[in-house]
Amino acid sequence: MRRAVAVRLSALLAAGALTAAAGVALSTTTASAATGGVTGYATQNGGTTGGAGGQTVRATTGTAIHQALCGRASSSTPITIQVEGTINHGNTTKVSGSSCNTAADRIELKQISNVTIVGVGNGAVFDQLGIHIREAANIVIQNVTVRNVKKSGSPTSNGGDAIGMESDVRNVWVDHVTLEASGGESEGYDGLFDMKDNTQYVTLSYSVLRNSGRGGLIGSSESDRSNGYVTFHHNLYENIDSRAPLLRGGIAHMYNNHYKRLNESGINSRAGARAKVDNNYFEDSKDVLGTFYTSEAGYWQVGGNVFDNVTWSSRSGDHNPAGPNPTSNTSVSIPYDFTLDGANCVPSVVAQTAGAGKGLKVSDGSCTPQSPDPTDPGPTDPGEPTDPGPTDPPAGANLSLGAGADGSSKASGTSYSNVIDGNTSTYWSPSGSTGSVSVKWGSATTVSKAGIRLASGSGTIGAYRLLNHDTGAVLASGSGAGTVSFSPASLKKITLEITNASGTPRIAEFETYAN
């Protein structure tokens, strides 16, 4: 059992108050979210794009955020919600609709997908109100502050987690956020960044976590080992008692983080977990890596880290620190590209880039902060979709020819099989502007490219997703027609899901290729 600890607090944030108006307004500007900059494990499993390609709206209350979610055509219609002002219990209510499942005491991202929440203007503060992600996929949260979320006392929200994820969550990118509490469990707080019950492919980048008894966890118990593939990079953990993070099972990659004043323990790898710990800077802290509060060991691969005034306690019972001279006891293969800053410059780089209100600055591995790419167009208004038109097909055989096909409700006079007949004069159309069509095989087939061909007179595809129908994983997303590449996937069925369109699309061919 975990020991009770007393958290040492820094000065609290001054409480800000902004008058928030109810309602949602369409924005004529593009969002500030730099979704093209996603990094780490959130780039895997088809990638994380949030609301890219969908409508952009502005919200100044929690109710308005929920209204934006509930006002979509479906629970998967892409949307970017620009948030400005203070979001709290007083301006957050439950909103109902077929495309949402919200609550009054938290920002609820439940049973939905393809959403970006980004702070803009003078900033967005979620005050005593947590963000809950449940049974959801392809979520981006960027440039916001979440503070003082409690599980006991008054008011309570989100089980005391600043950001919490649970129950079959996939592909979440949390970037340039500030998560903070004002104490530990005895003061009513829980974790700042928690993942449990089958949450995978998550990145936390350029963020600040501070003044909390618990930084966060991956896995709610020793038996909850279905989570993992999580990247933490260029984050500041400051004045945290423990769980920076706690990792039960699964794989995590921690690089270029600044850990400052970890009071009891830091990265707690246990229950068979494996952590790759690269070029981090640990400062004024205790037992920053190891297996703690359990007899079920975890593992780590270490390299390039700096330990500045770090103390290590003796190994005893269920307390097994990796120091005083941490060495690797496993190896972890990382599937994505990343560039390391030297550990010695991490405190400086993180101080200039991490947290909300830092201009989304990032590092390119040169120890010099960079501003985000100003050419990133961000999400587009669905009223102005772009259609690049068909492109030349890739080399190799079109695997769709000779396969099977099915899909959602189709328009009168059209057929699913028309998308796999090699004839661009025949086509399938959904019954309306949105719907899905699939190509399927009798045995697992490896696919890494797809071609979407439109017939003459077609409406324009504003947004689509390619899904591994076997697992529900998003392979790729985009707009218009043409060819798209993605990580090779072995599957029996691939689905083209049209989530936004102008007019009724006419899909002449849904081509698939091995390479």
Question: Which residues are tagged catalytic?
Answer: 243
Beta strands in 68-219 (DSSP E): 79-87, 107-110, 113-127, 131-134, 137-142, 145-147, 163-166, 169-175, 178-183, 193-196, 199-205, 208-214, 217-218
Whether residue 171 contacts residue 474, with contact meaning beta carbons closer than 8 Å, is answered with yes
Beta strands in 401-457 (DSSP E): 404-407, 435-454
Measure the CA–CA gap between 296 and 393, rounded to whole angstroms: 52
Burial class (CB in 10 A: 0-12, 13-18, 19+), 164: buried
Closest CA relative to residue 243, chosen from 283, 280, 191 = 191
Structure letter (DSSP) for residue 191: B
> DSSP letters of 55-103?
EEEEESSHHHHHHHHHTSSSTTS-EEEEEEEEE-GGG------TT----
Structure tokens at 153: 């006392």
